[in-house]
Structure 1
Amino acid sequence: MNKKRDVKVVAINAMIACVYAVLTILCSGLSYGAIQLRFSEIFIFLAFYNKKYIPGLIIGCFLANIPSPLGFADIIFGTLATTLATIVMYKVSNLYIGAIAGAVINGIIVGGELYFILHLPFFMNMFYVFVGEFIVLLVGCFLFKEIQKHDDFMQKYLLS
């Protein structure tokens, strides 16, 4: 990689992190807790197309979890969930499988976090987090399927 390309990748990751964090915080009423629709999670599909976007997604999640009502635990476990979801998203070859895997990972980790921190029923919270995440990621599947129809956009922005 040349220096110019390295700077471009860092800048793109900074933008991804910023948009992820700001969108999560702006929608904070839906972003935190047992029943959550974290719309910024749609961005984890960027990892499906190119692993170079994973750092921005992880940093964005980390920043978004700083104001979480669950505090330090959400910074650690929420960021861990997104980290694992982005890695799996990069490794799978089907958007829908990636969506299911991401929802399961978040359901287990964040459901466990809610269980240990707030002493809420594990399986109920795992299910709630899974459903919220799955809804968001299903929307993301349809969104990215539409984006895939535009080869010029895909080549210029997602795959390069």
Structure 2
Amino acid sequence: MKNKTRLLVHSAIIGAIYVVLTIIFAPISYGPVQVRISEALTVLPFFTPAAIPGLFVGCVIANIYGGGGMVDIVFGSLATLFAAFVSYKMPKKILVPLPPVLINAVAVGFILNYLFNLPFFISALWVGLGQIVACYGLGYPLMMVLERYKDRIFKNGI
């Protein structure tokens, strides 16, 4: 029971931080050219499976706020869920930020193409570049810092 509670609390905290970071940095979190600072958190599945539902729920709430409608809420959030799961399965630390970069570039590229009739490849490129900044530029260093304290923060992998 204690582990389930810990998993739920960690998921809720991760989701809440994701929402807050996305909304605080809203001007750069949404649109065709975006660096969603909260995507730095996509490295957290490396430490705990609680990050997978936390990132998903956080993304759902952030996308409700973002104004992209149901397409963005559903498909953008599912892309984050899938990316978080694949990151959790990555065999090497350096690869952990890669799934959010690739999956979101493609998924959000399609979403921007559908919603705003923007060219897919250009949209995917801009989103991918923003994801590289967030996931590797911010997320990977975050992962290195958290690794020092993982036993205190992510007790028993949860």
**TM-score between both structures, scaled by the size of structure 2:** 0.91
The aligned length equals: 155
- State the one-letter code of the partner of 1:84: F
Shift of residue 101, structure 1, vs aligned partner: 2.4
Corresponding residue number in structure 2 for 1:16: 14
Corresponding residue number in structure 2 for 1:75: 73
Gaps of 5+ in 1: none
RMSD: 1.3
Corresponding residue number in structure 2 for 1:55: 53
Moved more, 72-81 or 122-131: 72-81
List aligned pairs for 1:130-141, cutoff 5 A: 130-138=128-136, 139-141=138-140
8 A Cα contact 1:108 1:126, kept in partner: yes
Render the CA deviation track for 1:98-141: whole Å, top value 9, x for unaligned: 22222110000000011111110000000000000111111211
Q: Secondary structure at the residue paired with 2:35?
A: coil
Within 1, Cα distance between the matches of 2:36 and 2:98?
A: 15
| Residue 147 of structure 1 pairs with residue 146 of structure 2 | yes
**Which stretches of structure 1, 4 residues or longer, exceed 3 Å deviation after superposition?**
none
8 A Cα contact 2:8 2:50, kept in partner: no
Corresponding residue number in structure 2 for 1:116: 114
Q: Secondary structure at the residue paired with 1:112?
A: helix
Within 1, Cα distance between the matches of 2:18 and 2:33?
A: 19
8 A Cα contact 1:73 1:113, kept in partner: yes
Identity %: 33
Shift of residue 96, structure 1, vs aligned partner: 2.6
8 A Cα contact 1:92 1:98, kept in partner: yes
Q: Closer, same or farther in 2 for the Cα pair 1:159/1:46, shift >3 Å?
A: farther
Render the CA deviation track for 1:39-63: whole Å, top value 9, x for unaligned: 1111111112221321111111111
List aligned pairs for 1:75-94, cutoff 5 A: 75-94=73-92
Moved more, 51-60 or 93-102: 93-102
Higher relative contact order (CA 8 A, sep 6+): 2
- State the one-letter code of the partner of 1:109: A
| Residue 158 of structure 1 pairs with residue 154 of structure 2 | yes
Moved more, 15-24 or 48-57: 48-57
Shift of residue 159, structure 1, vs aligned partner: 5.2
8 A Cα contact 2:36 2:131, kept in partner: yes
